[in-house]
Amino acid sequence: MATGEYVPHAPGYVDTDDPKIVTSRFGYEDSYTLDRYLATGGYEGLKAALGRTSEACHNITREATVLGRGGAGFPAGIKWGFCPPDVWPRYLVVNGDESEPGTYKDRLLMERDPHQLIEGCLIACYSIGLTQCFLYVRGEMAVAQQRLADALNEAYEAGYVGKNILGTDFSVDIVLHWGAGAYIVGEETALIESLEGNRGMPRLKPPFFPAAVGLYGQPTIVNNVETLANLPWLMSNGAEAYKQYGSETSPGTRMFAVSGHVKRPGVYEVEQGVTTYEDLLYGDKYCQGIRDGHELKMFIPGGGSAPWLFPEHVSLPLEARPVGAAGTMLGSGAIVVMDDSTDAVKACLRVVRFFARESCGKCAPCREGTSWEEKILQRILDGNGRPEDLDLLLDIGDNISPGPYPVASDESQGLEAVPFPPRQTTICPLGPSSVAPIVSALRRFRHEFEAKIATPVELGLRGPNAPSEAEETGLRGPNAPSEAEETGLRGPNAPSEAEEVAS
Amino acid sequence: MSRLNEANVALAHEIIARYPKPKSALIPLLHLAQEQDGWVTDEAMAHLAELVGVTPAEVKGTCTFYEMFKLHPTGRYMVNICTNIACQVLGAEDLLHHAEETLGIRPGGTTDDGMFTLEDVECIAACTEAPCLQVNYRFGLRLSIDDFDEMIADLRERGRSDHLITANPGEPIPSHGTLGLSRQHLTEERTAGIVAPELVTEAPVWLTFEPKQEEGA
């Protein structure tokens, strides 16, 4: 059914009149075929790259400041430069294990435009001498795997991948690899462990910085799908053209997935830095505001790991630095919007439960701490919370991420923001991420937690920590202080007056 | 059943050959075993251990880390309903509850006729299309309760449903264990050559070669 007609959008993607760098083909029904790719400027970026020296291509990427789109936002050109000069071979590992709650852009890029990703991989390999590329796709993305397998077979057949690409000395193999369901494998060292056939547990940095000691102990560049998808356009149009979009410190465009209680949720490609959360959430060409009859209560600004933001923060630009200073992160470009119908405790529990389920179990503070956090939040939600639980939650969080945890400002309470990132007692940031919803929700909505703890009676059932019947009725239960203690009268087993005087 | 059949052994060798070190093929090979049997058997794991040159315990160690590998038989269709935050705020719990009532099983359970296994899963990357689910890792988006019922009836009757998105329109939903319907094939004449890292000592030739024509940056 490859009609080639431009349809308004692929499922989830919303087309706007904004400049497009990575989603330019999403409207075509057959966007994933080699024919459509070639008809729309495909592999021209590779040809432009091969017309230059490798070093020149690396320099263009460096000049353009292509920021990593996976979450950390580190410039790709600088990351590439971290490979030790004389150690060979070097590998490219593409991080397509997209699983951060709220995030999906890489899946669309792989499903809708697999050749663009392949071309991006080739350009990265050419630029810094990477001789084999592994495309690690999330296990659950069957359609993306199928499209990439087809695209790779086509590209090999047509001479774009493999030996002597386009008649040059440039030769590289791209291997499709896929995972099997583990969020933590999105962390780059865990991804490498998984690619070596092991349990996907993160490695300690140092020494295991992938650019120095990565796959099979060799220098390895791990780049996000969206990051690489920018390279074909960049090579065709140059760094200056790329920098015309976005802000000075965050050039180019970025894909944002806005989900939750907005009128038109979707994946949008917008200019970074110059667009704000407000534009995206309320703009007519974007999400068109909160659904009717409701108001914004809070939003997750950068994936499940990000501390929450609130209505007064919507004017922040979509740029890593100001969002970091505001106490959270731009992260993976995932915005989850929650309106006033949302129960803050329930939302907090749901995000924490995710981290408890996905903890790999390597570091004790995370392995134990995340499940404790989940259990405590569950009992508060069930009406069995204890008054000390709120401090207990914060204490557990402090053991995973010591010190003041990043959190947004709260003018109504006169509280300032604590800037990102959090500190950690763990190898990777998964455990500390579980603290984000707790600190965010507790600081802002402590009264909601307290209300649940103060009113444990639901449907007439009493939780174990509810005030005892005795306390309420005046009847004495077995653990009530004895009459003797209260009245000063001595019972038969009390120490004798003589014993007390002696001690 | 259990050990890989002859055709799959040939495929396994092809997959192993793509990696500089054989153990890297383990996750794709476990998927292959699951594709053959619908779940991962001890015999299959022992066979994979022989193929990649590790112990069966190492294979099991890897296998048990990953949620998609099932160590017991499942239904023909794995129905995975996302209940993570973006879906939760738009009614995923109602959908899950409805699925439990309709299928008569709790998450983790399989219907008596062996058709459906239900799971309550984490974010599956379709957040703007909540509530969403996957059936054998094919997406169903913005599903109402009626849509869900229709989808279940479709799967029972025809083995596919218009509520589920496949790579090509009209493709059937394969039984549990099969992911993408196509595979990558590296041919001898086109491959750049997969070599063990210890055999490479020099920078690749193109890093030093002069490009044929110079274009403006």
Distance from CA of B94 to the nearest CA of A (A): 15
Picking from A159, A216, A334, the nearest residue to B197 by CB comes out as A216
* Partner-chain contact A336 B89, CB within 8 Å: yes
Residue to mutate among B80, B184, B199, with most A CBs inside 10 A, is B184
**A367 in any annotated domain:** yes
**B192 in any annotated domain:** yes
**Looking at the structure, do residues A76 and A214 belong to the same domain, yes or no?**
yes
**Looking at the structure, do residues B91 and B126 belong to the same domain, yes or no?**
yes
**Looking at the structure, do residues B160 and B207 belong to the same domain, yes or no?**
no
Residue A3: per-residue pLDDT: 42
Written as six digits, the tokens of A254 are 């970025």
Residue A493: per-residue pLDDT: 54
How many folded domains does chain B comprise? Answer: 2
Q: Does A381 touch chain B (CB under 8 A)?
A: no
Residue A413: per-residue pLDDT: 93
**B178 in any annotated domain:** no
Written as six digits, the tokens of A4 are 């080639």
- Domain CATH for B191: 1.10.10.1590
Distance from CA of A425 to the nearest CA of B (A): 23
Residue A469: per-residue pLDDT: 52
> How sure is the predictor about A500, in pLDDT bands with cuts at 50, 70 and 90?
low
Name every chain B residue with its beta carbon within 8 A of the beta carbon of A153. 182, 184-185
Residue B47: per-residue pLDDT: 98
Picking from A70, A69, A49, the residue whose alpha carbon sits closest to that of residue A172 is: A49
**Looking at the structure, do residues B7 and B68 belong to the same domain, yes or no?**
yes
Name every chain B residue with its beta carbon within 8 A of the beta carbon of A194. 27
Residue B214: per-residue pLDDT: 46
What is each CA distance from A268 to A118, A379, B64, in whole angstroms?
Answer: 22, 38, 37
**Looking at the structure, do residues B58 and B112 belong to the same domain, yes or no?**
no
Sheet holding A90-96, edge to edge: A173-178, A130-137, A90-96, A220-224
Q: What is the dihedral of CA A391, A395, A397, A402, to 10 degrees?
A: 130
Q: Is beta strand A130-137 parallel, antiparallel or unpaired with respect to A90-96?
A: parallel
Residue B216: per-residue pLDDT: 42
What ipTM was assigned to the predicted interfaces of this complex? 0.95
> Which has the minimum average pLDDT: A9-18, A191-200, A239-248, A453-462?
A453-462
**Looking at the structure, do residues A222 and A260 belong to the same domain, yes or no?**
no
Average pLDDT over chain B, rounded to an integer: 94
The one-letter amino acid code at B172 reads P
**Looking at the structure, do residues B22 and B85 belong to the same domain, yes or no?**
no
* Partner-chain contact B194 A102, CB within 8 Å: no
Distance from CA of A424 to the nearest CA of B (A): 24
**Looking at the structure, do residues A318 and A187 belong to the same domain, yes or no?**
no
Picking from A374, A421, A367, the residue whose alpha carbon sits closest to that of residue A399 is: A367
Mean of the pLDDT values across residues A422-436?
Answer: 97
**Looking at the structure, do residues B87 and B158 belong to the same domain, yes or no?**
yes
The range of the structural domain enclosing residue A290 comes to 253-454
* Partner-chain contact B127 A334, CB within 8 Å: yes
Written as six digits, the tokens of A253 are 């465009």
Residue A4: per-residue pLDDT: 42
Q: Does A182 touch chain B (CB under 8 A)?
A: yes
- Domain CATH for A265: 3.10.20.600
Res. A495: pLDDT tops 60: no
Name every chain B residue with its beta carbon within 8 A of the beta carbon of A127. none
Task: Give B158-208 pLDDT, tens digit per residue.
Answer: 999 999 999 988 899 999 999 999 999 998 889 999 999 999 999 999 997
CB proximity under 8 Å: B 92-121 to A: none
Res. A480: pLDDT tops 90: no
CA distance A113 to A37: 8
* E strand or H helix at B157: helix B145-158
Residue A27: per-residue pLDDT: 86
Residue A285: per-residue pLDDT: 94
Q: Let me know: does A281 contact A337? Beta carbons within 8 Å.
A: yes
* Partner-chain contact A347 B186, CB within 8 Å: no
The range of the structural domain enclosing residue B33 comes to 1-72+186-217
Residue A481: per-residue pLDDT: 52
**Looking at the structure, do residues B89 and B161 belong to the same domain, yes or no?**
yes
Q: What percent of chain A has pLDDT over 90?
A: 86
* Partner-chain contact A102 B85, CB within 8 Å: yes
Name every chain B residue with its beta carbon within 8 A of the beta carbon of A86. 203
Res. A391: pLDDT tops 90: yes
Residue A472: per-residue pLDDT: 55
* Partner-chain contact B65 A142, CB within 8 Å: no
Picking from A13, A46, A8, the residue whose alpha carbon sits closest to that of residue A27 is: A8
Q: Does A22 touch chain B (CB under 8 A)?
A: no
Average pLDDT over chain A, rounded to an integer: 91
Find how far residue A332's CA is from the centre of its chain. Answer: 5
**A263 in any annotated domain:** yes
Mean of the pLDDT values across residues A191-213?
Answer: 97
* Partner-chain contact B31 A217, CB within 8 Å: no
**Looking at the structure, do residues B62 and B88 belong to the same domain, yes or no?**
no
Written as six digits, the tokens of A124 are 């990265």
Single out the residue in A413, A439, A454 at which a domain terminates. Answer: A454
Res. B135: pLDDT tops 60: yes
Picking from B134, B58, B66, B131, the residue whose alpha carbon sits closest to that of residue B93 is: B131
Task: Give A157-189 pLDDT, tens digit per residue.
Answer: 999 999 999 999 999 999 999 999 999 999 999
How many folded domains does chain A comprise? Answer: 2
Res. A476: pLDDT tops 80: no
**B30 in any annotated domain:** yes
Residue A6: per-residue pLDDT: 45
Residue A33: per-residue pLDDT: 96
Residue A477: per-residue pLDDT: 46
CA distance B38 to A145: 19
Residue to mutate among A146, A192, A195, with most B CBs inside 10 A, is A146
Q: Does B175 touch chain A (CB under 8 A)?
A: no
Single out the residue in A243, A272, A303 at which a domain terminates. Answer: A243
**B174 in any annotated domain:** no
At residue A356's C-alpha, the angle toward residues A355 and A358, to 5°, is 60
